[in-house]
Structure 1
Amino acid sequence: MKKEFLYNGIADNIASKIHSGVLKSGERLPSVRNLSGLHGISINTAKRVFLELESRSLIQAKPQSGYFVSSVPQLPLPTTSQPVPFIINREPEKLMNDIYATMGRQDLTMLSIGIPSGNLLPLAKLKKEIVTATRTLQCGGTEYEPLQGNLKLRRMVAARSLTWAGNLKEDDIITTNGCMHALALCLMALTKPGNTLALESPCYPGILQLAVSLGLHVIEVATHPIYGIDMDALTALLPRIDVCLLVPNFNTPLGYCMPETHKETITKLLAQHNIPLIEDDTYGDLHFGSERPKCCKSFDTEGNVLWCGSVSKTLAPGYRVGWVAAGKYHEQLLKLKLVHSLSSAAIINEAVGNFLMTGRYENHLRRLRKTLEINYQNYITIIASDFPKGTKVSRPQGGLAIWIELPGNIDTQVLYNYALKKGISISPGRIFTLQDQFHNCIRLSIGLPWTDQLKLDLKQIGKLAKTL
């Protein structure tokens, strides 16, 4: 049996005992050595079991004491999505416009926008890097960059790919104006109006809007809240698919991390059918576990995966710094970048490249990841005590979002309007699909500093939900 199957199987067994209440909150688990002996596995494999359970927020390590069942309440998981297996492109345009019209308002608690608060970002250090970039770049950064992008930034992105077995080189990378720009270039290079794009369901609204704007037919695929896209459902749809776009690492809104075995299987399956895979990895650095997860690109031997990323969710949303490693489609994307943007912002890209090179980025990520994980645990505690009975909640293993499935009679578009009157902005589930589903779901951002006011606002959402 492969090592991945082995440790995941043991982890799933322990997880099921936690979910069923056999193992209760605060109880101590066997030591790494005991688990190794009990299952006849190596010490390293036993450690992987605990790392996997930690990444699911089911257990926590206590220094010098061992591993314990997490004290975070274990609420039921949201239902596996069941979108219809045919194309229905009904964009909730008005609702989307209403939500994004509130972006930037200082009088609202912005639980609807999935970015980290500026209070969680290293603003002073970034400002210094901007000043340094204006001094070191030729002509103060006023000239165009090379078409492929800032060399330092590309080199650092390639170097960081070693953390997820990417083995990229600087010449593999093309810089873009954020991850959405990278995704847009990929879709424009690979599709024409009328082509069919397969996506997870629920899916980030920006991706849905982009696909509709390009005249693509969208097929939403059934998706599990822990394991991601349903492999059998995707396989059955392959004859109808022209391109597939996935967010395997900490997808928003569900926050799951697709198992490595699934990533490898999907990568090889799509390559066999000559279906390009666009991989949005913009959340990959926000893992709650100790290890950065691999990407589908890690298993790409055909150049069939177009790997996209950015610092928009980790460092500086407004800087619009992104990139793509487009594999065998590299030249097609370069030509499109020439037409659509020519050059990225030289000063900004140089500053971000410097920040990554100094090691400050990794230090920042460690603090941010810990904050987001603690926020998730705080949110769960409030939801368990103050939301309607029967509420189901995702168990993000990283990222910036939590997905809440309220009892079926609650319309979250109505909840959105009520909450807005109380100074709170949330994201109704309907914006994460083009189909008639998720009306009783909401996504909340966990990227805000934890304060007494945020705690009260979460309680207010639960109170309003109960009235519906």
Structure 2
Amino acid sequence: MPREILYLKIAKIIEEQIASGTLQTGDKVPSIRMVQKIHNVSINTVKQAFLELESKSLIASKPKSGYYVSQAFNTKLGLPSINKFNLSDKEKTPEDLISKVFNTLSNKDFTQFSLGVVDKSMLPIAKLNKGIIKVLRNLEDSGTAYEPAQGNINLRRNIAKWSFTWDGHLNEDDIVTTSGTLNALFYSLITVTNPGDTVAIESPVYFGILQMIKSLGLHIIELPTHPVTGVAIEDLKKVLPKIKACCFVTNFNNPLGSCIPEENKKEIVRLLTLHNIPLIEDDLYGDIFFGTSRPKPCKAFDEAGIVMWCGSVSKTLAPGYRVGWVAPGKFKDKLIRHKLLHTMSSPPLFQEVIADFMEHGRYDHHLRSLRNTLYANYLHFQRTIENYFPENTKISKPQGGFVLWLELDPRIDTAILYDTAVQHKIGFAPGRMFTQHNQYNNCMRLNFAVKWDEKVENSLKRLGTLIKQQLKK
């Protein structure tokens, strides 16, 4: 039997033991040498099997101790439901709710689980500040001159080099810089669509994407999205004749945390290439993975240039720098013309700072630390929710990113719950913000990229208590 098949067979046996409860949370997994003797395979084959299990957050290693069943797997709480495929739903716009949530964001007394940004304590601010000083000294005109419309050459070169982490074959000429990921998505949308066209997106979906698509006079089809595996191929096939483009967050979708499996990504690219439908790929969270390796974006399988790969450092390094990019494939020249028309060029200073940060390995080092912190936070949140929220709460199991999607008892309206939580200085994002239809009313998104401390833990406990109290009414 080929070694690749063997390691997957061994991984599946252990996974089934975990799923059945034979191996429970905290149990020690048989050692690598023991598994090697049982299955009569090489050490490398067993190591591959363990890496596979680690990438799914099923097991975790403890230094000098071995592997244990991860606390992230055996939760008593179920996964959130998948929404129904209904193209005829009446719209129920979430703008009122979005405004209400954003009005509380500047309040420093609040425990903010609502805003999708990393806490400043997790960012290398001092190193970035040094980078600004260095760049100001060395940059011609101290960053006051116009850049070419395509963007800073140093940044584009470093983004192209960084694409090696997912087997990308990009060079600096393939990249166009933007003011963050939303700006990249905006340029991509206006490049490949016209008002009146229809775009397929995931559901639930980040409200910023939803609002931007609608503001461009485009129609939206929300595809049911599985909390682990994302959009189903069969659902995509149903809408292909109706759509002009797709816009998917392929790795660690916001708000579900789903990650489309590699085989499905290949099939999505194959289908869309066959129908000549562009895929605007938001890969904003791809570098924040909890497994052993970065999941590939759909761009890795794009041979025809139909995938417009978008990203930024807004969720990993410096939200306020507004440094993003897009690899627009065959649409590059048209997209650059749109950028020239709308913004002329991107500010050079922060592009150079990020390029310098990526150039010398500091970005990679920072990401390793950030991923460890976020994964630890995820486990804290999961444990606290399991202990203090109602037993019928359903919770997502993200393998990366930093948001959790909770589905509560159907009797709970999270828009009403939000008003109560605000009185206790707790913020979260109600589920209806993430759709154009009247759904997800009993859902919420929580950001776990906050500094875990007693105040945060108590706020989470308090939120669980408020939900229980609302159920008694």
Instruction: Determine helix, strand or coil for the equivalent of 1:140.
Output: helix
* 1:353 to 2:355 alignment: yes
Corresponding residue number in structure 2 for 1:416: 418
CA drift of 1:7 comes to: 6.2
Unaligned ranges ≥5, structure 1: none
Corresponding residue number in structure 1 for 2:343: 341
Corresponding residue number in structure 2 for 1:250: 252
Matches of 2:448 and 2:182, distance apart in 1: 21
Corresponding residue number in structure 2 for 1:65: 65
Matches of 1:111 and 1:404, distance apart in 2: 12
Corresponding residue number in structure 1 for 2:391: 389
CA drift of 1:216 comes to: 1.1
Normalising by structure 2, what TM-score? 0.94
Instruction: Determine helix, strand or coil for the equivalent of 1:208.
Output: helix
**Cα distance change, pair 367–413 in 1 and its aligned pair in 2 (3 A):** same
Which stretch shows the higher mean deviation, 77-86 or 197-206? 77-86
Q: Please list, as runs of the form range in 1=range in 2, the aligned pairs for 1:1-16 lying within 5 A after superposition.
A: 11=11, 14-16=14-16
Instruction: Determine helix, strand or coil for the equivalent of 1:96.
Output: helix
CA drift of 1:71 comes to: 3.2
Deviation by residue 1:223-271 (Cα, 9 ceiling, x = unmatched): 1111111111111221112101111111111112221111111111111
Corresponding residue number in structure 1 for 2:142: 140
**Cα distance change, pair 18–149 in 1 and its aligned pair in 2 (3 A):** same
CA drift of 1:4 comes to: 8.2
Corresponding residue number in structure 2 for 1:125: 127
**Cα distance change, pair 268–98 in 1 and its aligned pair in 2 (3 A):** same
Matches of 1:37 and 1:190, distance apart in 2: 56
**Cα distance change, pair 416–6 in 1 and its aligned pair in 2 (3 A):** farther
Matches of 1:48 and 1:192, distance apart in 2: 47
* 1:449 to 2:454 alignment: no
Unaligned ranges ≥5, structure 2: none
Contact 1:89 1:218 in 2 (8 A): no
Corresponding residue number in structure 1 for 2:194: 192
Deviation by residue 1:298-350 (Cα, 9 ceiling, x = unmatched): 01111010000000000011110000000000001100000111111111111
Contact 1:4 1:261 in 2 (8 A): no
Contact 1:254 1:402 in 2 (8 A): yes
* 1:398 to 2:400 alignment: yes
Instruction: Determine helix, strand or coil for the equivalent of 2:258.
Output: coil
Amino acid at match of 2:229: Y
Match of 1:434 among 425, 436, 444: 436
CA drift of 1:126 comes to: 0.7
Contact 1:91 1:209 in 2 (8 A): no
Normalising by structure 1, what TM-score? 0.95
**Cα distance change, pair 420–49 in 1 and its aligned pair in 2 (3 A):** farther
Matches of 1:407 and 1:353, distance apart in 2: 47
Instruction: Determine helix, strand or coil for the equivalent of 1:222.
Output: strand
User: Percent identity of the aligned residues?
Assistant: 49
Corresponding residue number in structure 2 for 1:56: 56
Match of 2:98 among 96, 99, 108: 96
Q: Please list, as runs of the form range in 1=range in 2, the aligned pairs for 1:14-33 lying within 5 A after superposition.
A: 14-32=14-32
Number of equivalent positions? 468
Matches of 2:50 and 2:230, distance apart in 1: 21
Deviation by residue 1:420-466 (Cα, 9 ceiling, x = unmatched): 11111100111111112111111100111111100000001100011
Contact 1:279 1:296 in 2 (8 A): yes
Match of 1:325 among 324, 327, 332: 327
